[in-house]
Amino acid sequence: MLFCCSVEKTVKSLEQTGCDAIVIELADGIRAPDARYLLGESTVLRTRMTALIVAAQNGPGASKSLDEVYRVGLGNKLGAVTGIMTGAPLAVEEFRLLESERRFADGTFVGVPTVLSPLELAQGKIAKDFVDKWHPTTAASDVTEATAAGDESKATASDVTEATADDESEATADDESKANADDESKATAADETATSVSMEGRKHHVRAMMP
C-alpha cells in the first residue's frame, strides 16, 4: 500500500503543477495487489485516467488481462494492447481470434482492441493520434486558442474595415467640400466678370451720349 499511496501523492502533485499528461507503468502484472487496488479502487487514478494500455507476452495472456480490465469497469478506457506479443504475428492473430469470440459487454460485442507494437507507440504521429483520441483536453484547449485567435483576427479586420470606411467618408466629405468651394469660387469669379462687363458697357454708353 505504501507504493499505492506514493503513486496517488505523485499524481496529485503533478496535477497541481499543471502537468498536461501523466504516464504510469504498473510493471508487476495486472493482478498484482498494488495494480488491482490502483485500477479497481483508487479514486485518484480512476477519476483521472483517460486511457489504459495493456502489455502482454502472448495472446492468451493479453486476453486474460483484458478480463481484469473489464471486471474493474475500465473497458471503455482501453486504448491499446502492446508488448512482446506484437513481435509475433501469429500471437497477435491468436489474440484477435480470442477477442472476436468472447468479448461482450452488456450483451453487445465491443470489438477487438487496437494492437500497437512498442515501436509504433514510439512514433510521433501514432503517439499524437493516440493522445488526441484519449486525452481530448489538450485538443480542446488548442481549438479554444485557435477560436480566440480567429475572433481577434475578425475583430481586427472589422476595426480596419470600419476605419477604412471612416477614412473614405472623410475623403469623400473633403472632396465634396473642395468641389463646393471650387463651384463657389467659379460662381464668384463669373459674377465679378459679369459685373465688370456691365460697368464697361455703361461707360461706353455714357461716352456715346456725350456731345
CA-wise closest residue to 116 among 51, 71, 176, 173:
51
Q: CA-CA distance, 204 to 207, in Å (whole number)?
A: 5
Matching residue, cell 488526441: 132
Q: CA-CA distance, 115 to 86, in Å (whole number)?
A: 7
Kindly report the number of other CB atoms within 10 A of residue 182's CB atom: 10
- Exposed / middle / buried, residue 111 (Cβ in 10 Å: 0-12, 13-18, 19+): exposed
Cell of 138: 489538450
Cell of 49: 485516467
Q: What is the pLDDT of residue 40?
A: 93
Q: CA-CA distance, 70 to 125, in Å (whole number)?
A: 28
Q: What is the pLDDT of residue 28?
A: 82
User: Which ranges of the chain would DSSP assign to H, the alpha helix?
Assistant: 2-16, 33-40, 43-46, 59-71, 89-102, 118-122, 124-134, 136-209
Query: Taking the chain (211 residues) in consecutive chunks of 10 residues, what is each chunk's mean pLDDT?
Result: 85 89 87 91 91 93 92 90 95 91 67 89 84 66 46 50 55 58 57 50 44 44
Q: What is the pLDDT of residue 29?
A: 87
Q: What is the pLDDT of residue 183?
A: 59
Matching residue, cell 489474440: 95
CB 62 within 8 A of CB 92: no
Matching residue, cell 487496437: 114
pTM of this prediction? 0.60
φ, ψ of residue 41 to 5 degrees: the values are -130, -30
CB 25 within 8 A of CB 54: no
CB 84 within 8 A of CB 57: yes
Residue 41 amino acid letter: E
